[in-house]
Amino acid sequence: MTALVLEIDGLELRFGGVTALGGVTFAVAGGECVALLGPNGAGKTSVLNCVSGAVRPTAGRIRLGGRDLDGVPAAQRAGLGVARTFQSPAVVEALDVGGNLLLGRHSRLRAGLVAGALAFPTARREEADARRRAAAIAQALGLDPGAAAAGLPAGARKRLELARALAGDPALLLLDEPFAGTSAGEQEVMAAAIRATVEGGAAAVVVDHHLDAVLALATRRVELDRGRMATTGAAP
């Protein structure tokens, strides 16, 4: 079996007297795609928020490639290979598609930001590579790098956010309702891109209400109910 990418152990998240997560435990190996299922309020997005570092869990452990993520800020987790999308797509509207995709490679660029601003040759080469990679991903997801992000319809925004997450060659992909508001055709294109990344060795956790689409993609399912583990098992 491939090495575990993500290990979640006894994850708890409480806001005052409200328990959002009460002991969630599961692991995802490289090459695996887990469907995280459950009704509204089950805590699916809370799990993604804890893993990406947007919120700090009250208790429990999260490991990425064996490394404990406790106290590691969100931006640093991106550098370690965690990429995520949001329920309502967080595309930067002031930028075009290409600019958004370049941001997706931000955590992968080695040259410093100041070297980049001063256009040092190494930084320029790296940025040219990033642009080529961004263009390839844009094409795979049917996006025009020159299009303004602000004018994109809902489905295209979802594709853009997915493309941005894939642009960083993530080790762990966290997708929060990637298929919401997309057409069947778009879902096919997106699923193919996600599958290719997972087959390339990444681990993925997908939350979505489009059960057919997400179960066709997933290799395993984890079900939550009111913040607790309900069932786990094979995807179908």
Partner 1 sequence: MTGVFELVVKGLALGSVYTLVALGFVVVFKATGVINFAQGALLLLGAYLTSAAAVGWGLPFPLAVAVAALGAVAFALVVERLVVRRLQGRPAVAVVMATLGVAIAADQVVTMVWGFGPRHLDDPWGAGSVRVAGVVLSQVDVAALVVGAATAAGLAAFFRGTRLGLALRAAASDAEAAAALGIRPATVSRAAWALAATVATLAGVLLASGPGAAVPNLGEQALRAFPAVVLGGFVSLGGALAGGLAIGVVEVLTARYLPGQELVVPYLAMLAVVLVRPDGLLAPREARRL
Choose, by CB under 8 A, the member of 44, 84, 158, 159 that binds partner 1: 84
Cross-strand bridge partners of residue 225: 228
Question: How many CB atoms are closer than 10 A to CB 22?
Answer: 19
Q: Which two tokens stand for residue 162?
A: 């997915």
Is residue 10 within a helix (H) or strand (E), and if so which, with residue range? strand 4-15
Q: Whole-number minimum distance, CB 162 to partner 1, in Å?
A: 13
92 binds partner 1 (CB under 8 A): yes
Contact 171, 108 (CB under 8 A): no
76 binds partner 1 (CB under 8 A): yes
170 binds partner 1 (CB under 8 A): no
Quick note: the x/- pattern for partner 1 over 130-159, rule CB under 8 A, is --------------------x---------
In whole angstroms, how large is the CA radius of gyration of the chain?
Answer: 18
Question: How many CB atoms are closer than 10 A to CB 196?
Answer: 12
Strand order in the sheet with 59-64: 18-29, 4-15, 59-64, 67-68
Our CB check for partner 1 shows the closer of 31 and 99 to be 99
122 binds partner 1 (CB under 8 A): no
Choose, by CB under 8 A, the member of 30, 43, 104, 155 that binds partner 1: 104
Q: Distance between CA atoms of 158 and 3, rounded to whole angstroms?
A: 30
Residues forming contacts to partner 1 in the complex (CB under 8 A) are: 52-54, 73-76, 78-79, 82-84, 86, 90, 92-95, 99, 102-104, 106-107, 109, 113-114, 116-117, 119, 123, 127, 150, 164, 168
